Amino acid sequence: MQVHDPSVYHILLKNGSLGLGESYMDSLWDCEQLDELLFRALRADLENEAPKSLKLAVYLLRSKLFNLQTEKRAWEVGRKHYDAGNDLYEAMLDKRMMYSCAYWEKAGTLDEAQEQKLDLICRKLKLQPGLSVLDIGCGWGGFAAYAAEKYQVEVTGITISKEQAKLARERCQNLPVEIRVQDYRELDEQFDRVVSIGMFEHVGYKNYDTYMQVVKRALKEKGLFLLHCIGGNSSVTATDPWINKYIFPNGMMPSIAQIGRSAEQKFILEDWQNFGVFYDRTLMEWLKRFKNAWNALKDRYDDRFYRMWTYYLCASAASFRAKKTSLWQLVFSQPSNLDYYQSIR
């Protein structure tokens, strides 16, 4: 860590992780290998060693008192993060624009790893031609297009991002795919399969039960539901303050206990897989692509955005490297479904 301004130390003691990220964005310090610095800080639990500020206490109290992911507030992350610019995401992501952990088990490139992830999901859902699939948080239509092309299913995708929906419709032309700009709580129809890839992190702990009730209502009696999400090692009510302010407003990672409580008496858990180790590699690949594309992007994004995005990707990679966070795929069935489920890897 190369400190350019001694005010950094006061900022860190006063504002903790928020101050660390903001001071980096403001060019008050640098690091040649930022991801490794943040990994070592997380591995040493430095976030728990720093004194807790009044600002942090208010932030945590607010998350306990209020529902920060109501139907009205849910659209904020779409406007702030996912509508940031399709050019940014096209440059950073794979050809199918999957903005979630890739599956590197037998893959050599990001494109291969994301296709392996998509095929893994399709096989876990036991997709067959003609089935109807609901994709909650469909992004730019990567899964919808893949499932429709490779497994001949009909997909309905919903997103809270207008920019995602616009591009997803273009990419899914001539396929049996419908893309809607819609909150999950507005759903009122049934499907053979339900999938959610990297969206549950925006639901919020006060809404987990509602989310599971919506999915249960949307899933047919013999249906399967696959939940692909980032998870934390302990139950929390808010995310890191810097991530909340600059990257994912009102987001948070669920714990094993929180998911279990929300699914209890609604679903049968058929399978649970953790491959969070692959997210580190995925994020570092995104970082490399982002940096390589910067000359083409910098007319639309300023230098502070460049440092913010670099910090976001490095901090996220560090969290998975330190095993502070995991990537889970869970498969659920309706209690009325007595069919044997064989786990897929």
CA distance 78 to 249: 9
- Residue 63's pLDDT band, with cuts at 50, 70 and 90, is confident
Which residue type, as a one-letter code, is found at position 230?
A: I
Query: Cα 90–93–99 angle (5° rounding)?
Result: 110
41, 47 in Cβ contact below 8 A?
yes
pLDDT at 186 over 90: yes
- 67: confidence class by pLDDT, cuts 50, 70, 90: confident
Residue 116 phi, psi (nearest 5): -65, -40
pTM here is 0.94
Q: Give yes or no for residue 241 having a pLDDT over 90.
A: yes
Q: Which two tokens stand for residue 31?
A: 């690091």
List b or e across 118-147, with b for residues whose CB sees 16 or more CB atoms inside 10 angstroms.
bbbbbebbbbeeebbbbbbbbbbbbbbbbb
The predicted pLDDT at position 75 comes to 82
> Which has more confidence, 88 or 46?
88
Domain spans in the chain, listed from the N-terminal domain onward = 2-333
Distance of CA 57 to the CA centre of its chain: 25
CA dist 108 and 106 (Å) reads: 7
Contact 94, 271 (CB under 8 A): no
pLDDT at residue 54, rounded to an integer: 65
What pLDDT is attached to residue 51?
A: 66
Contact at 8 Å (CB) between 86 and 163? yes
Provide the strand spans (E) within the chain. Answer: 2-3, 29-30, 132-136, 154-159, 177-181, 191-197, 219-232, 268-274, 325-333
Instruction: Answer yes or no: CATH 3.40.50.150 is held by domain 2-333.
Output: yes
Confidence of residue 115 (pLDDT cuts 50, 70, 90): very high
Query: What pLDDT band is residue 121 in, cutting at 50, 70 and 90?
Result: very high
